[in-house]
Structures are given as C-alpha cells and as structure tokens.
Amino acid sequence: DGADLGSFSVGGAGYGPFAVLFDGTNIWTSNYNNNSITKLTTAGGLVGTYAVGTNPRGLGFDGTRIWAANANSTNVTVRNVSDGSLVTTIALPGFNQPHGFVYDGVNMWVCAVLNPRMAVIDPNTFTILDNFDTALGSGNWCLVFDGANVWTDGIDGLLQIL
C-alpha cells in the first residue's frame, strides 16, 4: 500500500546508498561516497559496514558471497555474506567503471557502464573466464538472467541477449 515503514541511515550523511540487495536474510547497500557496503536486518538494524574499493555501485549475490562493483578502482570486492569478511578483490582489465552484476546459477557476470565491457567470473576460483565487449557501444547499465540467457541494457537505449 506504499505506507512508510521506516527510514534507515546507511553510509553516513551525504554518503547514501547507490544499490540495494536482499540476500534472502539481510539487506545490503553499496555506499558510493564512503567506499563501503552496509548489512542491515530486515527490521533496519545495523549488522555491519565493510570497506570495499572506490565508489561501489552495483551489488551481486552468488548464494554465499556479496560482490561489490567498485567504479573508480576498476575491480570487484567479494565478501562473505555470513560475517562480511573479505574473500578477494578481482581486477577487471579493460573496464571503465564496473557497474552491475547478475548470477546465472553457475557464474557471476559483471558489466561496465562507461564502456561496453563484460566479464564472466567463476565464483569458486574467482577466475575471469571471459572478458569481452558487448554490442552496446556506449556501455551496459543492468543485467538480468532469464533462466537461459543473460540480458544487458545499454545507456544508448538498446538491449542485447548474451
């Protein structure tokens, strides 16, 4: 019904969330201007705030880990969903501002927003399996998995099925 059930401060004043993700138990936000992600209970209680790379944007979830796309450090930070502990940081060659994620049940996909770059990452070994340009010349905005294919939309108004 649209009733306001509460407002919760994350990331500090002026450092508000860029993305929000539900991991099946808790809510996560990426805090763009203070280089962190925050974990909240579904009642809004603060569980923890964890450092990531520079200017995190999109968040991904592979079933056990939270992935943060760090726009200005051109990498992704991976943390355990259970306790927020750091798992790894993965450099993304050729990316201009990593932005969005989708998990296809096997691999994690990440896209760049300021160029048409896409990477496919094995979430068990953190190996980049593929790193390529999409047909979307201006860059990719979001990703979705439909059960068979990954779709991406471009900031130029196009969709592509991969």
Regions of the chain with pLDDT less than 70? 11-16, 159
**What is the tens place of the pLDDT at every residue in 67-87?**
999 999 999 999 999 999 999
Query: What burial class does residue 4 get, using C-beta atoms within 10 Å of its C-beta: 0-12 exposed, 13-18 middle, 19+ buried?
Result: exposed
Q: What is the pLDDT of residue 159?
A: 67
Alpha-carbon torsion, ordered 92, 95, 98, 100, to 10 deg: -100
DSSP 100-124: EEEE-SS-EEEEESSS-EEEEE-TT
- The span from the CA of 114 to the CA of 154, in Å, is 10
Q: What is the pLDDT of residue 125?
A: 97
Q: What is the pLDDT of residue 51?
A: 96
Q: What is the pLDDT of residue 13?
A: 56
Short-list 28, 79, 23, CA closest to 52: 79
Q: What is the pLDDT of residue 56?
A: 94
